[in-house]
């Protein structure tokens, strides 16, 4: 898990794909200067110093070329760190699903994590939080959202009467099904965990080819511009 902060405050989540690359949500960087952001790895409680933490600045942000802020379609980006993460017990890579794989089946249990608020009243969490949620049938979710969802999105619900799900500042964090990041937190309704407006994620498998193309093209000797080593 990755925390992206601006002006000393947690802003969005993400996950470490490669020692120099993080996957996050494109909307996290709308009207933000990436050069002022920090990426924190290996954290649990962000507000206190922890020996496991590694902090990097952002060398580059690569938003998906078809990202549409108005609809949140293709809401995914890659962050290049200004150095290489040191892998260990507190910092690990998270794998991607198979290229072009279908989204997880309706009813599957998955886990979403982040440092976002734990209530509708901007109550900060004591540390990194995790919730178990269930994948929702896409047609049911799209009906709840009046047909707003694009094909590269899918949804989750609590699966019971408790309003489990993500909240403000969880954007960009991974939805882990099994051991892979199948979703990225994208958007939800006005109230956190409201079953009337199910949580919506970017479907990562649609973007696997693009992700690796960006990583390898911009980590090779022939790279160019700000993305070069």
Q: Is 18 among the catalytic positions?
A: no
Residue 109, CA atoms < 13 Å, CB-side half-sphere: 5
Please report the DSSP string for 28-65 in residue order: GGTT--GGGEEEEES-SSTTS--TT-EEEEEEEEEE-T
CA distance 22 to 15: 5
Q: Which of these is catalytic: 158, 171, 186, 188?
A: 171
Nearest to 98 by CA among 5, 178, 163, 170: 178
Task: Return the residue matching tokens 């998955």.
Answer: 110
CA distance 16 to 30: 21
Nearest to 15 by CA among 77, 81, 94, 96: 94
CA distance 104 to 183: 9
Question: What is the token pair recorded at 200?
Answer: 């919506």
Question: What is the token pair recorded at 64?
Answer: 């998906």
Q: Is 188 among the catalytic positions?
A: no
Q: Which of these is catalytic: 10, 11, 75, 182?
A: 75
Q: Which of these is catalytic: 18, 27, 64, 182?
A: 27
What per-residue string of b and e applies to 148-185 under the rule 16 or more CB within 10 Å gives b? ebbebbbbbbbeeeebbbbbebbbbbbbbbeebbbbbb
**Residue positions annotated with a catalytic role:** 27, 75, 171
């Amino acid at each position: 898990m990755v925390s992206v902060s601006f002006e000393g405050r947690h802003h969005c989540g993400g996950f470490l794909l490669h020692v120099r690359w993080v996957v996050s949500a494109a909307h996290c960087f709308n009207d933000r200067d990436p050069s002022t952001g920090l990426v924190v790895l290996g954290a649990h409680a962000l507000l206190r110093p922890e020996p496991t933490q590694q902090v990097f600045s952002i060398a580059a942000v690569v938003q998906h070329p078809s990202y549409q802020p108005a609809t949140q379609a293709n809401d995914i980006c890659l962050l290049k760190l200004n150095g290489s993460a040191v892998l260990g017990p507190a910092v690990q890579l998270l794998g991607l699903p198979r290229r072009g794989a279908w989204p997880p089946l309706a009813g599957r249990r998955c886990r979403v994590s982040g440092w976002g608020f734990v209530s509708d009243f901007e109550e900060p969490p004591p540390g990194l939080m995790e919730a178990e949620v269930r994948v929702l049938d896409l047609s049911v979710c799209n009906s709840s959202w009046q047909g707003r969802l694009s094909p590269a999105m899918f949804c989750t619900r609590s699966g019971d009467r408790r309003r489990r799900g993500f909240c403000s500042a969880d954007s960009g964090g991974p939805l882990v099904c099994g051991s892979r990041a199948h979703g990225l937190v994208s958007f939800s309704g006005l109230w956190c965990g409201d079953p009337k407006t199910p949580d919506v994620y970017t479907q990562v498998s649609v973007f696997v080819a693009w992700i690796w193309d960006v990583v390898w093209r911009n980590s090779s000797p022939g790279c160019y511009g700000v993305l070069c080593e």
